[in-house]
Amino acid sequence: MMAGVPLEELRAKALQEVEQAPGLEDLRRVEQEVLGRRSPLTLAHRSLGSLPLDERRDAGARINQVRSEIQEAIEGKRRALEEAERAARLEADRLDLTEVLATWGPGHLHLVTQTRDELEDVFVGMGFAVAEGPEVETDWYNFEALNYPPAHPARAAQDSFYLKVGEPEQVLLRTHTSPMQVRLLLTSELPIYAVMPGRCYRRETADARHRPAFHQIEALVVDRGITFADLAGTIEEFTEAYFGPGIASRLRPGSFPFTEPSGEYEVTCTICRGRGCRTCSGTGWIELGGCGMVDPAVFGNVGIDAEEWSGFAFGFGIDRLVQVRHGLSDMRVLQENDIRFLRQF
């Protein structure tokens, strides 16, 4: 071998230096030393010309083999060093995502609004329009057109706040959303498929389940050939759509001046799913609201032929639904506007 340095020794030394290079800079220097223009290997290659032809080929092949072996080692080492450096950079960049400073996020819709929106969406999905009206009504719209004659005993259950405007006891805060039925029947083109949410008022002493102001939603359908079976079926459809599977509905007789036959309807207790609990007083059912077929007297009051058209209505308290769903022991919390409560939902 030329220059007195055996090829094998060169190779071993070069590979060792490559392996031991601590950084990319060092590796570049090692590369220069072992493969550069002045490196023993390059020099050895240059000196090949001095060998006899038959030896030259073998020696050249060996040198090239060692060279490429070293080159591969350098490439491998370079990749390893680059990876290590990238890892070190990333490590230095590490962020604990749970140390992010607290900021106040978005606010919260009132529970009653959230529930009302969900209810509206269910009814919209069932093909209903959403109709709204004023909270101040006349006695005719709130009572008389709905077949509550003056001094009707059912009025006693809906004690009203009367306003000092117009004739005495003629203008009041609506006691239910039902005057909207009258407005729709007077002004809408038939058929009607509408749902009517809104705030109502009754002159009742506040307790855990009652507030002088509360929210109701009621549905009205008037079409040709509408039956009590349609009422029961629509309540069932709504119950399933809103509460989900496993929640059933049932009806029993009730009384409202503006519907006949009238009923009360109950749904499977959403807390215990029918097994019986404190919320449902162990019955497995929760009273939701009232329902019935539109009374012919109401059709008469608004000039609709009750032989041609029939209809049904059903409604319930939104606040009460919120109370049951969220386990509110006292309805009052809905009107206290305590931000610590509002923020929970």
Partner 1 sequence: MRVPLTWLLEFAPFPARPGDRPSVTALGQVMDDLGMVVEGIEVAGEGLGDVVVARVLEVGPIPGADRIRRVVVDRGAGEQVEVVCGAWNFGEGDLVPLAPVGAVLPGGFSISRRRMKGVTSNGMLCSGQELRLSDDAEGILVLGGQGVEPGTPLVEALGLDLDVVYDLAIETNRPDALCVAGVARDLAARLRLPFRLPEPPGAPVAGSLPASLEVVATDLCPRFLARVLDVGAVAPTPAWMARRLTLAGMRPIGPVVDTSNYVMLELGQPTHPYDLDRLEGQGLLVRRAEPGERLVTLDRVERVLGSHPRTGDPVDDCLICDAGGRPVGIGGIMGGRSSEIGPATRRVMLEAAWFAPMAVARTSRRLALRTEASVRFERGCDPSGIERALDRICQLLAGEGSGAGEVTGGSPGPTGTGAVVVPGLLEVGAVPPRPPVPLRTARVNAILGTALDDQQVVSYLAPLGFACTPVGPGLAEVEVPGWRPDVEREIDLIEEVARHHGYSKIPRTRPRSPRVGALSGYQRDRRKVRATLVGIGASEAWTSSLLGPLDHERAGLAGPVLEVENPMAREESVLRRSLLPGLLAAVVANTAHQDPEVALFEVGHVFAPRAGGVAPPGGAGAALRSEELVDEREVVALALARDGDDARQAVAAWRALAGTLRLAEPELVAASPPGLHPTRSARLVAGGVELGVVGEVDPSVLEGAGLGGRRVGWLELDLASLLASPRLPEEARPVSRFPSAEFDLAFVVDDAVPASAVEATLRQVAGDLLETVRLFDVYRGEGIAPGRRSLAYRLRLAALDRTLSAEDLGRLRAACVEAVEVAHGGQLRA
Output phi, psi for 129, to 5 deg: -95, 160
* Nearest distance, CB of residue 294 and partner 1, angstroms: 10
* Nearest distance, CB of residue 98 and partner 1, angstroms: 22
* Contact of 216 with 316, CB cutoff 8 Å: yes
- Nearer Cβ to partner 1, position 288 or 293? 293
Instruction: Work out whether strand 249-256 and strand 259-268 pair parallel, antiparallel, or are unpaired.
Output: antiparallel
- Nearer Cβ to partner 1, position 235 or 324? 235
- Render the burial of 292-306: b for 16+ CB within 10 Å, e for the rest: bbbbeebbebeebee
* Nearest distance, CB of residue 333 and partner 1, angstroms: 11
* Nearest distance, CB of residue 12 and partner 1, angstroms: 59
- Render the burial of 191-225: b for 16+ CB within 10 Å, e for the rest: ebbbbbbbebbbeeeeeeeebeebbbbbbbbbeee
* Nearest distance, CB of residue 23 and partner 1, angstroms: 41
* Contact of 317 with 214, CB cutoff 8 Å: yes
- Nearer Cβ to partner 1, position 82 or 132? 132
Distance of CA 310 to the CA centre of its chain: 38
- Nearer Cβ to partner 1, position 59 or 185? 185
- Nearer Cβ to partner 1, position 31 or 295? 295
* Nearest distance, CB of residue 172 and partner 1, angstroms: 9
Full DSSP string of 261-319:
EEEEEEEE-TTTTTS--TTTTTSSEEEEEEEEEEPHHHHHHTT--TTT-EEEEEEEEHH
SS3 193: strand
- Nearer Cβ to partner 1, position 62 or 152? 152
